[in-house]
Amino acid sequence: MTDLVDPTPHVTAAKRGILSLYEALERTTENEYSDVSQPYTPQPPKFWPSTIPHIDTICGGFYGVSVVTGQPGTGKTLLSIASAIEAAASGKWQVIILSAEDDKDGFRERFNRYLSVHPSARDCIGNLHYHAIGKGQDAASLTLTIHHCIDTSIDVPILIVIDSINSIVNLSHGSYLALLKDIGLWAMFSRRLSTGDVSFLITAETNKGGEVKGEALSFWSDVYLKLKWESEFVVDMNLAKTRRTAGAGPMGNHLRNWSTGLFEPEQQRPLYAVGGDQYE
């Protein structure tokens, strides 16, 4: 007897994520029909550590397209780097940081300080990739950058951290609002196509009304976290939206602890260590 060859070889989560990034660039794609008369068990979101106790405990972590918005100096980069490191350290994600504001020295300073305080996070090495973004980038060029550093043979999803979406757009050519829309839709649609095998953590600036610039990003997001400056070390947090979990609402004041690279609830101030059954 001849050996049977599987006509549908296994496609890894990383490869599904990359394919979805490319498909999301297409001008037209197929509509997907779902037969509600057939039984179907929905899959839960693919979570990664936010490093914020309320979100990790109540929501299970960040997931899908998670947007963090706030005024300058509220700690958006601090939060995104901690979350990226812990996601990579979990071994459950390949993580790419696309930074349009910091350079490699600024990032390595934050990275080295975080690992010195959280030695278990050294497991992130090999799963975490950093790019300082140049001028003239768009969703298509970012897709190529991501593809070049992802190992599609690894069966874990991809987390793309964008810090910040507004700065990437400002460094690019053409209409600001059109580019902001294009990158936001690319993130939302690729996440949807891949069912979370490519997910995003996006930091964004606020407008005069305190909402995210290019307000459609809040509608396209799965998690929408708003940071508000209270004082040099204190930030008020409001989980304005969480699409598929409980936990939305005011979260109170949090302290930016620069030495640990984490936010701590003002009332409790625990030294938070990522872990728990939700990431096992």
Mean pLDDT of 8-27: 91
Q: Which of 106, 104, 100, 239 is nearest to 179 (CA)?
A: 100
What's the maximum distance between 2 C-alpha atoms anywhere in the chain? 75
86 domain-assigned = yes
> Domain containing 78: what range?
13-22+44-272
pLDDT in tens, 56-82: 999 999 999 999 999 988 999 999 999
Domain total in the chain: 1
170 domain-assigned = yes
30 domain-assigned = no
Quickly state the pLDDT bin for 6 (edges 50, 70, 90): very low
pLDDT at 274 > cutoff 80:
no
CA 139 → CA 2, 63, 180, 280, distances in Å?
A: 46, 20, 10, 32
Mean pLDDT of 182-189: 96
33 domain-assigned = no
pLDDT in tens, 77-136: 999 999 999 999 999 999 999 999 988 899 999 999 999 999 999 999 999 999 999 999
Percent of the chain's residues with pLDDT above 90: 77
2 domain-assigned = no
Integer Cα distance of 1 and 21 in angstroms: 41
91 domain-assigned = yes
- Residue type, position 211, single letter: E
CA 68 → CA 125, 223, 237, distances in Å?
A: 25, 8, 10
What CATH code is carried by the domain that includes residue 243?
Answer: 3.40.50.300
**Can you give the pTM of this predicted structure?**
0.89
pLDDT in tens, 124-178: 999 999 999 999 999 999 999 999 999 999 999 999 999 999 999 999 988 999 9
Cis peptide before 164 (omega within 30 of 0): yes
pLDDT at 277 > cutoff 90:
no
Quickly state the pLDDT bin for 268 (edges 50, 70, 90): low
Query: Which pLDDT does position 211 carry in this prediction?
Result: 83
For every residue of 209-244, DSSP letters joined together read: TSSBSSTHHHHH-SEEEEEEE-SSSEEEEEEEEESS
101 domain-assigned = yes
